[in-house]
Amino acid sequence: MTHLMFAATCDIAGKVRGKAFPADDLKRRLSRGVGWTPTNVQINCFDGIADSPFGALGDLLLVPDEKARIDIKYGTKSETFFLGDIITLEGAPWEFCTRSLLRSALSRLENIAGVYALTAFEHEFQLKSPSSLLGEGFGRAGFEEQRELCETIITQIDAAGLKSDSIMKEYGPDQYEVVIAPEVGVRGADAAVIVREIVRSAARHLGQEATFTPIQDPSSVGNGVHIHISFRDADGLPKTFNPDGKCGMSKLTEAFAAGVLKYLDSILALTAPSAISYLRLTPHRWSAAYNNLGFLDREASLRICPVTSKDPLSVADQFNIEYRAADAAACPHLALASIIHAGVQGIEENLTSTEPTTEDLSLLSPSELAKRGFIRLPQNLDTALNCMSSNKTLRSWFGSHFVDVYLSHKHSELEHVKNMDDLARCTEYARTY
């Protein structure tokens, strides 16, 4: 039997798409790639095709990246897939290639601030087969019930060249969380894609189905993606922490955080990009509802994370900030690119962050929120897309052509679910994510 390998991209919809090719053709494919079509960018998460500026015209190449090769083996079954880059026939990065868009953001960070980013994505997911156990939030029995799945996931993560951190039974029904160590640059977003695919494959192998949908039931918990970010200089020294800074933030980190918060309403359509994402982004869901900075606060959109060491060097090494207004409907590369761009904008504008919040912002009046510089984040995808569309600064990061194509893509997704109630929308998204 001919062994096939899969060249893949994680696209605007956050879906992993690509083409398979014979393994003995790998050398040629690493240099020449596989054929790709521009209008593929407009395939939404429900496999509808949004209005495309390309129509039936154009050709591209999807080139697998040997550094993003993943070999998975379940019993006697094995699979190899690569994440790759979409390029033009002339060899230039295509303007809608999500990995290339992230590279541009990371290059901007290095050029402006002289640092590179270390990032890690925490993922929550749920199993669709209901458990017989109740009251097992964070429980040993809840973990034990899925021990084989958890051990399979961690084994495959490590085999993929990533470093596993932990996996646990989360609070929600049939909900689990998997955490990995941070990676440098584009590899951080690649790792997020790899983890999602491994979880889905491991579950299927064991006769189950996992979903990363933002929320399965409007009356229950959501599934978030928490993105941890820290900075290093060219020598690998940590630059995120300053013991004399606000809550331990260096001036660089503070300006970066302030930029993220200033542009949060405009990047939200890239980090929480589904119609149901906004059912989760509400007060008291431990997610994000306002553009606030928090210290030890899981209601904050941006959280300064605690460290577990007293040694100054270890503190500096561990110190990071956590973006909490994201979910797995987002392409990790686009989500991270938008956060990095917003943060760098804060550095360029020499912004200073607000004081970390310690109270329930939902109890404050609109006038008090405005006085303190807080806004309620968009409460639906339509509003988030409008914020994105009207922000000229964001358009300068990605290019107006990209933004307009993205808006068309997302409006086609909204059209698909417009006549559904919230529960029906949740069910529909759970089928695809």
pLDDT digits (tens, 9 = 90+) for 335-392: 999 999 999 999 999 999 888 888 888 888 888 888 888 889 999 999 999 999 999 9
Q: Please calculate the CA angle 374-105-19 and round it to the nearest 5 degrees.
A: 115
pLDDT confidence of 399, banded at 50, 70, 90? confident
pLDDT greater than 80 at residue 252: yes
Range scoring the smallest mean pLDDT among 176-190, 277-291, 357-371: 357-371
Name the pairing type of β-strands 175-180 and 116-127: antiparallel
In the prediction, which pLDDT does 431 show?
95
Residue 406 CB neighbour total at 10 angstroms = 23
Query: Does the pLDDT of residue 309 top 70, yes or no?
Result: no
pLDDT tens digits, residue range 86-128? 999 999 999 999 999 999 999 999 999 999 999 999 999 999 9
Length of the chain equals: 433
| Residues linked to residue 34 through DSSP beta bridges, in sequence order | 62
Most confident of 62-71, 241-250, 363-372: 62-71
CA distance 187 to 120: 10
Contact present, 17 and 82 (Cβ < 8 Å): no
Q: Which two tokens stand for residue 276?
A: 């149901």
| Segment holding 367, helix H or strand E | helix 366-371
pTM of the entire predicted model: 0.94
Question: What pLDDT is recorded for position 355?
Answer: 83
- 286 pLDDT tier (thresholds 50, 70, 90): confident
Q: Give the rounded percent of residues in the chain with a pLDDT score beyond 70.
A: 99
Domain residue spans in the chain?
4-94, 102-432
Extract long-range pairs of 220-223: CB within 8 Å, 24+ residues apart.
220/172, 220/173, 221/170, 221/171, 221/172, 221/173, 221/175, 221/285, 222/124, 222/279, 222/280, 222/285, 222/287, 222/327, 223/123, 223/124, 223/125, 223/126, 223/172, 223/175, 223/280, 223/327, 223/328
pLDDT score at 179: 96
CA 50 to chain centre: 22
pLDDT surpassing 80 at residue 205? yes
- Looking at residues 136-165, what average pLDDT do you find? 91
Closest CA to 94 of 102, 86, 103: 86
Query: CA-CA distance, 278 to 224, in Å (whole number)?
Result: 11
pLDDT at 135: 77
Give DSSP secondary structure letters for 98-153: HHHHHHHHHHHHHHHHS-EEEEEEEEEEEESS--S--S-TT-HHHHHHTHHHHHHH
Provide CATH code, domain 102-432: 3.30.590.10
Lowest mean pLDDT among 7-21, 162-176, 304-318: 304-318
pLDDT(133) > 80: no
Interval 179-206 mean pLDDT: 96
- Please provide the average confidence, as pLDDT, over all residues in the chain: 93
Alpha carbon distance 187, 183 (integer Å) = 6
Among 208-212, 240-244, 362-366, where is mean pLDDT lowest? 362-366
Fold of 4-94: Ubiquitin-like (UB roll) (3.10.20)
